[in-house]
């Protein structure tokens, strides 16, 4: 049996964000029902290279695979390469043969954006009027793309506000998306707030938030990272993607280790809400989604990409194992 090789450009042609959002939402529901297998993410820390690698295996129905992905924040400046580069191996659960090897850089960005949009669907106010982005890199753009699937009215009825430590980054994103470059305080005062920074200290203050705001905290995906004032976590309805990952490397990791927050302060996993086991938004409370990125999101999207590639005859087949 041959192995299908899929490049980033081919993946971009194959998969639309609508399908990614559907796949990620289904993966969260399966996780909430306990119908997925996802061993803990393995970290290989490389401080001498200012980066790390993560291995992320998972199984969701007949989809089995593993992602090998890095986080090297200095890559763009030092080497002209993305900060995140990933490779996905999708395997046949029956024979263990590799069905596909594909670029996972775009896959990672798309499924992360989709996770934020799914969280907003269940946790944000029903008809958001404003959406703020704190951090205006690649991930912010994919978050916006995914939110356009959940909220088609973004094109005309939702005000977009962009803020970044680099003013030119916010201005460029605002021009692309039809929004406004604003201060951090203004971007945080929105109905939906998406943070996607590599910060190791809080960049969003509780006093900046509007009543009923929903925050997608996407940036803290490793130990020591933190984007939100811990008081936000204490005062709001706190939802995580997975306890093992969030407690180790999510937005909650520093407040937990300092004793500011307890595990009992977490309201639910997003999967429990998507599966209908727990309620999402119930009033004008502030809600927070702490996203670390789940392997089941990757395998769900990788399987969707593979199915599309087979159907459309895209990719290169090679006899990888003879």
Active site residues: 67
Gyration radius (Cα) of the chain, Å? 19
Enumerate the H helices of the chain as residue ranges: 8-14, 17-32, 75-79, 105-123, 138-150, 167-177, 184-188, 230-235, 243-249, 253-257, 270-274, 295-312
CB 155 within 8 Å of CB 174:
no
H or E stretch at 95: none
Residues in the chain: 322
Nearest to 130 by CA among 183, 171, 179: 179
CB atoms under 10 Å from CB of 52, counted, come to 16
């Amino acid at each position: 049996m041959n192995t299908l090789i899929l490049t980033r450009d081919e993946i971009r042609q194959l998969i639309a964000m609508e399908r990614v959002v559907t796949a990620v939402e289904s993966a969260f529901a399966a996780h909430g029902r306990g119908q997925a297998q996802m061993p803990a993410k393995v970290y290989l820390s490389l401080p001498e290279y200012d980066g790390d690698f993560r291995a992320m295996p998972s199984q969701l129905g007949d989809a089995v695979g593993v992602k090998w992905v890095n986080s090297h924040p200095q890559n763009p400046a030092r080497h002209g390469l993305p900060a995140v580069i990933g490779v996905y191996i999708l395997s046949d659960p029956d024979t263990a043969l590799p069905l596909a090897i594909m670029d996972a850089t775009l896959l990672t960005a798309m499924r992360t954006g989709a996770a934020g949009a799914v969280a907003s669907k269940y946790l944000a106010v029903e008809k958001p009027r404003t959406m703020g982005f704190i951090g205006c890199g690649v991930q912010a753009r994919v978050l916006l793309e995914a939110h356009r699937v959940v909220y088609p009215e973004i094109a005309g009825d939702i005000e977009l506000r962009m803020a970044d430590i680099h003013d030119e980054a916010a201005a460029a994103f605002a021009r692309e998306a039809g929004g406004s470059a604003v201060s951090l305080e203004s971007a945080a005062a929105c109905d939906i707030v998406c943070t996607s920074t590599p910060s190791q200290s809080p960049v969003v203050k509780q006093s900046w938030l509007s009543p009923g705001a929903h925050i997608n905290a996407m940036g803290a995906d490793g130990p020591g990272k933190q984007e939100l004032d811990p008081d936000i976590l204490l005062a709001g309805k706190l939802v995580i993607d997975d306890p093992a990952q969030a407690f180790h490397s999510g937005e909650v990791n520093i407040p937990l280790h300092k004793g500011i927050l307890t595990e009992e302060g977490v309201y639910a996993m997003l999967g429990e809400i998507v599966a209908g086991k727990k309620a999402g938004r119930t009033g004008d409370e502030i809600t927070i989604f702490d996203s670390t990125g789940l392997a089941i999101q990757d395998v769900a999207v990788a399987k969707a990409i593979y199915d599309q590639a087979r159907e459309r005859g895209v990719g290169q087949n090679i006899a990888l194992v003879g």
